[in-house]
Structure 1
Amino acid sequence: MIDVELPSGPASGARTRGFAACLASATEVPVTDLPLPEEDLAHALGAWRTWLAEHGSGLVPIADPVRFQWPGWWIAVVARPAGAEVAVLAFGTPPGVVLSPQAPDLLGRATADLPIRAAYAVASLDPVLRRRPVGADLRGTVEGLAVAPAAEAPMQLLDVAQAAAGRGLEGDRYALGAGTFTPRAGRRPGYDLTLIAAEVLDELAAAGQDLDFAGTRRNVLTRGVDVDALVGRRFHIGDVLCEGRRLCEPCVHLDRLSGPGLLRPLIHRGGLRADVLTDGEIRLGAPVVSV
């Protein structure tokens, strides 16, 4: 996403202009490149659908936005006092507000707590899954290890951890089947282990955002390896074989536990979800090497 200011215009069209700012931010184009009809939001939505279709995307109405869970961008129209309505950009599962050009006080709020009048997902029109090209070998090291014995419990830093195939790290809430997002109906890929790059925390610190490894609530802190590039690849952490499944995107739950303002800066930088394929031991300083 990119920062986009509210386009200038009459107060009567503020909701439409706010929606345009959110759409421009999600698509990462200047707001001046979007069609901005002077009519009401309903007419503008038609113009934006045509514009998005020309770029292989669309706006999909969300039937139940309060319960909506999707790790992607979506735009909500939220009721405000005195009958006004504003547009906000949401992200994460569970989702929170990451851009609110008309009402900055909504930034970081959980969408489930907002009076949403309408919502639309920004989605690709092409569902074809294309195989990722295999890149160069990836190498790094383990700089931190952590587990939490229960959902929302403080993370405990370790020097060494035991990994169990199909479960995760011994003593961690996900290995115990007690995590906040532990699947309730059998095992699913991507819930054994989470990793995050130390370089991300360095960048946040340089920008004035205070977040330590424990605050990320990830299991493994790496350095020197692009964890995002491990999606779809197998890799060793020490002698433990793992497989990267998908990005570990931030959510409003993390924002609530570790401090406000974390959701937005961690988008696409929140780390990796992986499966543990073999038993073994992971120590600080252990190599992280792609297979």
Structure 2
Amino acid sequence: MMPGSLGRWLRRLRGRPAAGRLEAILLADNAGAPMQAVDSTVAIAGRGLEGDRYAAGTGWWHATDGCQVTLIHAEHLARAARKSGLDVSDGRHRRNLVVSGLAGVELRGRRLRIGTALFAWHRVRPPCGYLDQVSGRGTAKALGKRAGICLTVIEGGRLNVHDPVHLKKGSEPFS
């Protein structure tokens, strides 16, 4: 049990729906291709993001370990850059969506509404050695365990950079 006012504050905070912001959308049309920033895209239910390697089935580990959509926190990218000196701001992190304002929020078991699309947390997506091959030596280590998560597209829809990101527990309806 947490002492005093800190414990009360944390209990109140946990009960609030979390919200963040979509900072970037990045797509690559096939495995190893450079990530391209776009202002808008369409999420396709059960597949991924239109124009991206995962939706097309051409991602590096698509057949055995693929994700429909990958997400990383802007705050984790800033931390990785600060600690390593590497520039990961231009998509070298190889994640599709960059969000801010949610770095301290547990996403496991949650659903995310971004634009008109609905996503569900699927699993953690730590970096692998392939990231160093396409983005430069030391990138995977710099990003560490916080290199992102995999999402499943539950309901398709349009996403735009700067859209709000709303979170709910898996069983809570969106209103």
What is the TM-score of this pair, normalised by structure 2?
0.81
Quick one: which amino acid aligns to residue 255 of structure 1?
A: D
Residue matched to 2:60:
180
Report the Cα distance in structure 2 between the residues aligned to 1:135 and 1:253, rounded to whole angstroms.
39
Bigger Cα displacement from structure 2, 240-249 vs 218-227: 218-227
Paired residue secondary structure (1:225): coil
1:206 aligns to 2:86 (yes or no)? no
2:158 to 263, 270, 281: 281
Aligned: 1:219 with 2:99: no
Distance 1:223 1:213, change over 3 A: farther
1:180/1:274 Cα in 2 relative to 1: closer, same or farther (>3 Å)?
A: same
* In structure 2, C-alpha distance between the alignment counterparts of 1:254 and 1:230, rounded to whole Å: 23
Instruction: For 2:31 and 2:122, locate their aligned partners in 1 and report how far apart those are by CA, in whole Å.
Output: 22
Map 1:50-129; keep pairs closer than 5 Å.
none
Identity of aligned residues (%): 39
Deviations 1:15-58 (A, max 9, x none): xxxxxxxxxxxxxxxxxxxxxxxxxxxxxxxxxxxxxxxxxxxx
What are the residue-to-residue correspondences of 1:1-291 with 2, within 5 Å? Answer: 136-183=16-63, 191-207=67-83, 208-226=85-103, 229-291=106-168
Distance 2:148 2:15 in 1: 18
How far apart are 1:238 and its partner, in Å? Answer: 1.4
Is the 2:77–2:143 Cα contact (8 Å) retained in structure 1? no
- CA contact under 8 A between 2:126 and 2:145: conserved in structure 1? yes
CA offsets 1:240-268 (integer angstroms, 9 cap, x no match): 11001111101100011101112223222
Change in 2 beyond 3 A, CA 1:270/1:211 = same
Where does the alignment leave 5 or more consecutive residues of structure 1 unmatched?
1-133
* Structure 2: stretches of 5+ with no match in the other structure: 1-13, 169-175
User: Counterpart of 2:71 in structure 1: which amino acid?
Assistant: L
Shift of 1:282: 0.2
Q: How many residues align?
A: 154
Shift in Å at residue 138 of structure 1?
1.9
Distance 1:281 1:148, change over 3 A: same
